[in-house]
Amino acid sequence: MSFDLKLGQLLADKTGDESFSGAVLVSRDGAPLFRRACGYANRAWRVSNQVDTRFRIASISKMFTAVAALQLVEGGRIGLHTSVAECLGLRETTIPREATIYHMLTMTSGIADWFDESGDWEKDWADLCRRYPIYLFRRNEDYLPLFVNEPPLFAVGEKYSYNGAGYILLGLVIEKVSGVPYFDYVRQHVLGPAGMGDSDFVSLDGVHDRVAEGYIRITDEENRTSGWVRNIYSTTPEAAADGGATSTIDDLSRFSQALRQGRLLSADLTTAMLTPQVSTQEERFKGYAWMYGYGCTIILDVDEQIVRWGHTGEEDGVSCRLYHYPVQNLEVIILGNQSWCAGDLGWKIHDLIMEINP
């Protein structure tokens, strides 16, 4: 069975058991090898997802922030070793002065996160939502009270720990140094040059063309679907520098191409962004070494060769993947509008790619 037929059957199975809803693209140099949508963009009215449906992409948009910050490094406006606390005037907070742009990009700053994802995600997120009115989180600076006075978790540069707060700070640095609001800067210098006309920062509670609603699956005691809940009360309403942009499968493919082709950064900084900078875990997972670059997760095989790079995106009602496989020269874009639905599909597509070269 061919690659597209295998992938088509896989997607049909996942649609049938309601374990995935969204859109999937596998392409090479912009030419689709597989491009399909499934499930509902609006369940109440049974409006189906389409291949041009726009989905919230959660932390995938950290890659946009990383590109924007590196553009300012390239332009000499800041350096990788610029102190973030000094740049933003946060000397009276617990953000260490020695924590730099590099440490924020690589998640090695040691600062407290605005939300700690290391524990029981659902329980801890529900607790945060009870304590803070997340519907008021509409600007990057709205997140500062959640972390700038919390004690650091470890010494600067000691190790990697997944951290969205560092990207909030990067967004504020971009805004201060460029003199342009963060969202406008990314629109003008990242989305525009990459030709991403269907991508933007749109509000969860707004009304926007072709945007899929996000859903949380409710299950019974036997893990069967018993209902659905929209994510409007459990997800921040606006995007921030650490995630939450809205995009399409084709636009994210365009972003990956623009990045690889040097249309967003110089050749040296493009290479640096996509080069492993720090290990994210000591043990191999699925046989791979896991590393982080600048806003980019990278996995390496036993020969230390890059197998893929990209980013994941997860929040209530959102589950996404952007992967590039350099050996096969393949883009894999998975955008889902229900919780935790992209992970298993992403690994199954990965296994297909490792088995055959379409």
Give the pLDDT confidence of 84-132 residue by residue, as tens digits: 999 999 999 999 999 999 999 999 999 999 988 777 888 888 888 888 8
pLDDT at 1: 73
Mean pLDDT on 1-23:
93
pLDDT at 67: 98
- Tell me the whole-structure pTM to 2 decimals: 0.96
User: Tens of pLDDT along 163-179?
Assistant: 999 999 999 999 999 99
Asked if 337 and 21 count as a contact pair (C-beta separation under 8 A), the reply is: yes
Mean pLDDT on 68-90:
98
Task: Give the pLDDT band of residue 224 (cuts 50, 70, 90).
Answer: confident
User: Tens of pLDDT along 287-340?
Assistant: 999 999 999 999 999 999 999 999 999 999 999 999 999 999 999 999 999 999
Give the 3-state secondary structure of the chain: CCHHHHHHHHHHHHHHCCCCCEEEEEEECCEEEEEEEECEEECCCCEECCCCCEEECHHHHHHHHHHHHHHHHHCCCCCCCCEHHHHHCCCCCCCCCCCEHHHHHHCCCCCCCCCCCCCCHHHHHHHHHHHCCHHHCCCHHHHHHHCCCCCCCCCCCCCCCCCCHHHHHHHHHHHHHHCCCHHHHHHHHHHCCCCCCCCECCCCCCCCCCECCCEEEEECCCCCEEEEEECCCCCCCCCECCECCEECHHHHHHHHHHHHCCCCCCHHHHHHHCCCCEECCCCCECCEEEEECCCCEEEECCCCCEEEEEEEEEECCEEEEEEEECCCCEEEEEEECECCCHHHHHHHHHHHHHHCCC
CA distance 32 to 18: 25
Candidates 62, 164, 151, 63; CA nearest to 107 is 164
Sequence ranges of the domains in the chain: 3-355
Asked if 202 and 212 count as a contact pair (C-beta separation under 8 A), the reply is: no
pLDDT at 357: 64
Residue 22 is which amino acid? G
CA distance 281 to 302: 15
Mean pLDDT across the chain, nearest whole number? 95
Share of the chain above pLDDT 90, in %: 88
Just give the CATH number of 3-355: 3.40.710.10
